């Protein structure tokens, strides 16, 4: 379970690396800037939930509500 922005960012980074993607490649895949990916993976709180969820989908993370 992901409980905060830091854990979410770490999960994105781990999944991205396992796919062999750079931060730049992930940014391009979701039509975002590389700075956003850097900040997201660092756990910076952001109001850009849509981009954060797009990044999660792009690296295959599934977020379930149980």
63 in a structural domain: no
Q: What is the pLDDT of residues 4-55, one digit of tens each?
A: 899 999 999 999 999 999 999 999 999 999 999 999 999 998 769 889 999 9
Q: Residue 31 falls within a domain, yes or no?
A: yes
- CATH of residue 40's domain is 1.10.260.40
44 within a domain of the structure (yes/no): yes
Position 65 in a domain: no
Nearest to 27 by CA among 65, 58, 1: 58
- For residue 40, is it within any domain? yes
**Does residue 51 form part of some domain?**
yes
Number of separate domains in the chain: 1
Q: Which domain holds residue 37?
A: 5-58
- Give the three-class secondary structure for 49: helix
Secondary structure of 4-64 in the HEC alphabet?
CHHHHHHHHHHHHHHCCCCHHHHHHHCCCCHHHHHHHHCCCCCCCHHHHHHHHHHCCCCCC
Supply the pTM of this predicted model: 0.86
């Amino acid at each position: 379970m992901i409980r905060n922005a830091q854990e979410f960012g770490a999960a994105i980074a781990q999944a991205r690396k396992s796919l062999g993607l750079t931060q730049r490649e992930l940014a391009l895949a979701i039509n975002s800037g590389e700075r956003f990916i850097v900040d997201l993976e660092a756990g910076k709180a952001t109001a850009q939930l849509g981009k954060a969820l797009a990044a999660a989908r792009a690296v295959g993370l599934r977020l379930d509500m149980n």
